[in-house]
Amino acid sequence: MIIPLEIKKRDRYIRQVLPFIRKPIIKALTGQRRVGKSYLLFQIMEHIRQEDQSANIIYINKEDLEFDFIQSAKELNDFILSKINSDVKNYIFIDEIQEITEFEKALRSLLLDQNNDIYVTGSNAKMLSGELATYLSGRFIEIKVYSLSYPEFLYFHNLVDSMESYGLYARFGGLPYLINLNLTDDVANEYLKSITSTIVYRDVVSRYNLRNADFLEKLLRFLAQNIGSIFSAKNISDYLKSQHSTVSVNQIQTYVSYLANAFILHRVERYDIIGKRLFSVGEKYYFENMGIRNVICGYKITDRAKILENIVYNHLLYQGYTVKTGALDTEEIDFICEKDSEKMYVQVSLRLESEKTIKREIGNLLKIHDNYPKIIITEDEFDGNTFEGIIYKSIRTFLME
């Protein structure tokens, strides 16, 4: 195969893969369609070719009609066996592997040969929560791939950090292919609409044989309009009834899980800080990509606070944090972040102009009686001293760290 010459490197992900190259463990790159998983495979291939000139690279792309005949585990296994060279190391790359029925059986068989080094990508979270976890427990690692971070967005588009650049990022999001288009509503939004349609209809409607696509679109629009709000399936059901769309609570839960499986949404659980437990109902939803969110429900000035909160959440994921939303008596803590057994508390506020807003955001954090870092992130350009240990950061400072 021919590896594209012009590839913008995303070194953070490559560094995650490097310790596992040539190890008998499957490397699974997961994430929403068009976040750049295929190009990361190309970067890994190029790295391998530089280190091992005799490498036998086998590449299958299930979005390429050339490989349409591979539909089952047996067909996948037979094709790869026909390409294997027993005299050298075989590097097997399979793009969008969830399109192959019972693929996990073929991977388990191929992994028996120590001469095979396997890399796969997938655009469905069930691939790991279900098939791989069941059949290949302990024999795979997951590397989650997200849309471009803000620094990556600047690098891809040859921009410098500024409020104008941040505005473009907040409006159009971080899908890598946008570097080939003008970042304008009439051009970029047409591309984003086509990707949204592909994800919704190919990865949700078609995959799960849904009959009520109209309801799915309404649900997605509702979630896009209310990012960062606390919901339960019953809340959503009650709202949709008011819009003359009657759907059961169970069906809503199922549809939301399908959207999350396709990585278009992130579901965030609520955590009781005092009781130290997860709530059984009520969660928040954030979008993987702001450009996709904005073409679903529009990009409005009144949504700036919601968009800011979503961008902060996405960057915390990119930094490797496990993120929950916090409840403290009747108050809310936007994000409780954990990594390497350490915690961090984050509040997000569009502006800290009024005394009432400052007291609310600071007051919530001061009620948490531990010594972990506490941060307030805002669109204000102010980065100053702490207040009783609480750190102020502008969104651009936070994103560039």
Is residue 287 classed as helix, strand or coil in its secondary structure?
A: strand
pLDDT at 130: 72
In a domain, 108, yes or no: yes
User: For residues 91 and 255, what is the distance between their CA atoms, to the nearest angstrom?
Assistant: 37
pLDDT at 3 over 80: no
pLDDT at 167 over 90: yes
Sheet of 26-30: strand order equals 56-61, 90-95, 116-122, 26-30, 140-144
Q: Which domain holds residue 70?
A: 11-144
In a domain, 100, yes or no: yes
Could you tell me if 228 and 365 lie in one domain? yes
In a domain, 140, yes or no: yes
Span of 3-17, 233-247, 386-400 with lowest mean pLDDT = 233-247
Q: Count Cβ atoms below 10 Å from residue 235 Cβ, excluding itself.
A: 17
In a domain, 198, yes or no: yes
Could you tell me if 223 and 267 lie in one domain? yes
pLDDT digits (tens, 9 = 90+) for 284-328: 999 999 999 999 999 999 999 999 999 999 999 999 999 999 988
Could you tell me if 37 and 83 lie in one domain? yes
User: For residues 242 and 235, what is the distance between their CA atoms, to the nearest angstrom?
Assistant: 11
End-to-end CA distance of the chain: 37
DSSP state of 148: P
pLDDT digits (tens, 9 = 90+) for 5-34: 678 999 999 999 999 999 999 999 999 999
pTM: 0.94
pLDDT digits (tens, 9 = 90+) for 42-96: 999 999 999 999 999 999 999 999 999 999 999 999 999 999 999 999 999 999 9
- Return mean pLDDT, the chain: 92
pLDDT at 236: 80
Could you tell me if 136 and 285 lie in one domain? no
Residue from 394, 375, 313 nearest 146 by CA: 313
More confident residue, 6 or 205: 205
Q: Count Cβ atoms below 10 Å from residue 50 Cβ, excluding itself.
A: 9
User: For residues 194 and 78, what is the distance between their CA atoms, to the nearest angstrom?
Assistant: 35
In a domain, 1, yes or no: no
Measured in degrees and rounded to the nearest 5, phi and psi for residue 282 equal 90, 115
Could you tell me if 46 and 175 lie in one domain? no
User: For residues 230 and 31, what is the distance between their CA atoms, to the nearest angstrom?
Assistant: 24
Could you tell me if 85 and 184 lie in one domain? no
State which of 106, 128, 144 marks the end of a domain.
144
Half-sphere exposure of 230 toward its Cβ, with a 13 Å CA cutoff? 16
pLDDT at 108: 93
More confident residue, 187 or 387: 187
State which of 103, 129, 144 marks the end of a domain.
144
More confident residue, 175 or 355: 175
Span of 77-81, 122-126, 380-384 with lowest mean pLDDT = 380-384
- Output the six-digit token pair for 114: 């120590």
pLDDT at 279 over 90: no
Could you tell me if 66 and 156 lie in one domain? no
Helix locations, 36-87, DSSP H: 37-51, 73-83
Is residue 111 classed as helix, strand or coil in its secondary structure?
A: coil
What sign does the dihedral 289-292-293-298 (CA atoms) show?
Answer: positive
Q: Which percentage of the chain shows pLDDT scores above 70?
A: 98
In a domain, 255, yes or no: yes
* Number of structural domains in the chain: 2
Could you tell me if 288 and 253 lie in one domain? yes
pLDDT at 260 over 90: yes
CB of 26 closer than 8 Å to CB of 140 = yes
pLDDT at 118 over 90: yes
State which of 120, 144, 168 marks the end of a domain.
144
pLDDT at 245 over 80: no
Average pLDDT over residues 128-150: 86
CATH of the domain at 35: 3.40.50.300
In a domain, 133, yes or no: yes
Could you tell me if 109 and 217 lie in one domain? no
pLDDT at 153 over 80: yes
User: For residues 369 and 367, what is the distance between their CA atoms, to the nearest angstrom?
Assistant: 6
pLDDT at 150 over 90: yes
Of the pLDDT bands very low, low, confident and very high (cuts 50, 70, 90), residue 120 is: very high
More confident residue, 235 or 30: 30
Q: Count Cβ atoms below 10 Å from residue 73 Cβ, excluding itself.
A: 18
pLDDT at 2: 63
Residue from 312, 267, 10, 352 nearest 166 by CA: 312
pLDDT at 128: 67
Q: For residue 259, give Cα distances in angstroms to 140, 149, 219.
A: 24, 22, 10
Residue from 229, 225, 161, 230 nearest 395 by CA: 161
Could you tell me if 187 and 291 lie in one domain? yes
In a domain, 4, yes or no: no
Of the pLDDT bands very low, low, confident and very high (cuts 50, 70, 90), residue 212 is: confident
